[in-house]
Structure 1
């Protein structure tokens, strides 16, 4: 209870420290002088997360992370359930309805419930709160929002205009989430066509198999990451599609990169004055043009729209926010019930460690008046070293290549099992 009683003060201290550091870094980076009263416009990464897996969580959080520094600036916890209201309140309402109104007035100050909508709208509502208090609390305006597009957050902020009509909030896309859209769209396309009696994902050469979809998604991801302009991205995406359509009789490699170092075997052979090899062996994503072009064309047109690709030019991701979420939920496991205050405490302490490292736990202990010994300091130092070494190891190219190889092998084994069993035995709504 001691932790919860001073939670508001701890939250204000943690995020004020973060904002102070972010303002200093932005001032240095942009070569300007900022006073405490000046309002600073910044780009932020916003994402939500939920305590319970699925779509029925009673508690959700929304977190704002500065794009330039990767520091968490603010967070808000949404809750549509109060255990005291459901137990004491309901019992009092049934047995002593006249006393319930007076009890409710006193309880409102400590009630956990601060939202009456669905769990899916918690991310949107948290954004309304965070954007609404950014100027009053931190003298910041979140004018550029990097998000995943999973919810209606951007549409809602554009509608309410938290900074007035003169300030427009712009949106940037997380390239990791955008690249996944192609795989989702192609799998849905195969499913929808199967319902109509049309087979796109058969076993023959040129079919839209799961392995082909996976490779096309990887190529789409590389095109988004590697493109510096919208035109570069669009050309690279369409090149991967037309490369798959190509045959010995009708090569379609005009959009593929030229030169001996090209990933396209056809263009590489032409640059070296050598005859190109057979398409049947060297095209790793063979696609039947006559059969697949009509259904694939609208999918690729939608995912190469200028408006979408323009929001991907910056090449940014939401990895920092996803990392923050893991720091929060390790303190408040998703498989156990938790009240709103416990989640708030996990968010604040998790954000503090995310911003300033494991040593921040010492400051939290001092804030509550706890004494810290040498063992706690040694443990925090060891955790910091482990985190740094893990980050270095994760970045090694050898590990990345092995991860891709293992993933491809697992998918190939799964496809083989499905084929031997005579087709998929489980698929949502397919039987």
Structure 2
């Protein structure tokens, strides 16, 4: 017998002694804190799992001739066995449930499973079977999500109490609030708004709004009188919002603030927001916590910088003349603007001075240096102040600023700065961002591609799964009933997620330099080539 077969036999005997293969990996501690509070309950109505007879198949479920000593472990564990036997004698096989779940995770549902089976030359499960599994999975997911979200809120309270044991039961917290829609261009039928507690970075509440109900659409299409069918349907209607798409976020604000004390035992007294909706004005007028509690708004630093960048791009004249405003110079000014805010949090006067210093810095030349108000010290972002602090010769401007802005260009830019950089805006700039909300959105829309239309329940499933992954990682989303292999892969993905986040933070400056260089190279190519693509370009004389 070969050495590999001996090892395989030894491995099988060890499995037999221990009662299985490799042991499941440990669940991450941060997830365990929440999951330990939830004990999965057995369903008394579920009968024992039923396996297919030998040598038979049904859809993806295929039974082997029977386990033997040489049968691979993956087959001996019978992953194709039915998960349970439901009413009417219909058997539901685990491999079908897993295939349906995989299709949902990919975002394409039945089409994704169909493509996979076609590529693998495998039999396909029937669409009715898929739909029944999907309904069970989504219903169970909604129940599980509510439990996880409640325990997450408890964990947030415990974390805050560890920092300050004197905090009351209903805590005053800072949240970042933002909304997103299921389709680009404000044409979506669905949208959601999420509230993330700032200290812990966990989603504590969210709401999904729907402008569409399939049953209502069918009945209205038939031309039936609404009075005939609405009374019975009212309690089951999936439509919970009747306004415009842009108004969804404002409505979400009002709902989340209105139930924050009841659901979360929290008062959102400070909120970091982008200012794109009138949500703040709506909740301020609403006074959800009474006249004695003021809700303060803090500006998202990144959105403020984008605001000034967008305004400056409108002044951009193509960059054909030396000293004109270009995409590269706008990007630099936007980065300087962000840094000026972060370096002077709590001091509005110094913040304002630092912002205007960045504008003068970009207009400086060797003959006319304007660096007296730039940040001083060895770690300064200004190359002149850095050289002075290190007792080094002052470098030439062409090596750092390259092409400085002309004075007439700066004169046109000044009103933009004066309009945006107001005392009210600077007072609200505390260095907070909505990066957490943007990250949550990217996770959710990876579950629910914006190019496809979904019903409300499918939308809720994607939102719930995305929030679980955001709060607790892949391990929490996959831990119940997934098997130890799936749990191990989920844990590996969580570790990779943490590693990549740290790596991205470490190379942040390098990524900024690469982005500016890419913009500079693109501008240079456009300048050399001239206009090559725009509306009616083909009809223009060469």
Q: TM-score when scaled to structure 1? A: 0.85
Query: Residue 217 of structure 1 aligns with which residue?
Result: 334
TM-fit CA distance, 1:185: 0.9
Preserved contact between residue 10 and residue 348 of structure 1 (Cα < 8 Å): no
Matched residues in 1 for 2:443 and 2:488: separation?
20
Query: Residue 411 of structure 1 aligns with which residue?
Result: 519
TM-fit CA distance, 1:378: 2.0
1:375-400: CA deviations, max 9, x gaps? Answer: 22222222222222222332333xx3
Matched residues in 2 for 1:373 and 1:137: separation?
33
1:66 aligns with 2:197: yes
383-392 or 166-175, larger mean C-alpha shift: 383-392
- 133, 155, 159: which one aligns with 1:25: 159
Q: Which runs of 5+ in 1 are unaligned?
A: 191-199, 366-370
TM-fit CA distance, 1:303: 3.1
- 449, 459, 466: which one aligns with 1:333: 449
Preserved contact between residue 212 and residue 285 of structure 1 (Cα < 8 Å): no
Query: Residue 112 of structure 1 aligns with which residue?
Result: 238
1:394 aligns with 2:504: yes
TM-fit CA distance, 1:130: 0.9
TM-fit CA distance, 1:362: 4.4
Q: TM-score when scaled to structure 2? A: 0.68
Query: Residue 233 of structure 1 aligns with which residue?
Result: 351
Query: Residue 360 of structure 2 aligns with which residue?
Result: 242
Matched residues in 1 for 2:390 and 2:172: separation?
52
TM-fit CA distance, 1:263: 4.2
Change (3 A) 1:252 1:27: same
Matched residues in 1 for 2:382 and 2:143: separation?
59
1:118-133 aligned at under 5 Å gives the runs 118-133=244-259
1:304 aligns with 2:421: yes
Preserved contact between residue 179 and residue 224 of structure 1 (Cα < 8 Å): no
Q: Which runs of 5+ in 2 are unaligned?
A: 1-134
Preserved contact between residue 59 and residue 78 of structure 1 (Cα < 8 Å): yes
Give 3-state SS (helix, strand or coil) of 1:283's partner. coil
Change (3 A) 1:105 1:218: same
Change (3 A) 1:121 1:250: same
Preserved contact between residue 42 and residue 141 of structure 1 (Cα < 8 Å): yes
Give 3-state SS (helix, strand or coil) of 1:108's partner. helix
Matched residues in 2 for 1:239 and 1:110: separation?
59
Matched residues in 1 for 2:379 and 2:144: separation?
56
TM-fit CA distance, 1:21: 1.0
Matched residues in 2 for 1:286 and 1:250: separation?
11
164-173 or 280-289, larger mean C-alpha shift: 280-289
Higher-RCO chain (CA-CA 8 Å, sequence separation at least 6): 1
Query: Residue 375 of structure 2 aligns with which residue?
Result: 257
Preserved contact between residue 210 and residue 456 of structure 2 (Cα < 8 Å): yes
TM-fit CA distance, 1:62: 0.3
Change (3 A) 1:249 1:393: closer
TM-fit CA distance, 1:155: 1.5
Query: Residue 136 of structure 2 aligns with which residue?
Result: 2
Query: Residue 101 of structure 1 aligns with which residue?
Result: 227
Instruction: Please provide the CA RMSD for this pair.
Output: 2.6
261-270 or 320-329, larger mean C-alpha shift: 261-270
- 50, 56, 62: which one aligns with 2:187: 56
Give 3-state SS (helix, strand or coil) of 2:474's partner. coil
Count of equivalent residues: 402
Matched residues in 2 for 1:360 and 1:138: separation?
21
1:160 aligns with 2:276: no
Give 3-state SS (helix, strand or coil) of 1:64's partner. strand
1:50-87: CA deviations, max 9, x gaps? Answer: 11122211110000110010111011001111222222
Preserved contact between residue 145 and residue 468 of structure 2 (Cα < 8 Å): no
Give 3-state SS (helix, strand or coil) of 2:193's partner. strand
Preserved contact between residue 128 and residue 157 of structure 1 (Cα < 8 Å): yes
Matched residues in 2 for 1:267 and 1:26: separation?
41
TM-fit CA distance, 1:311: 1.6
1:205 aligns with 2:322: yes
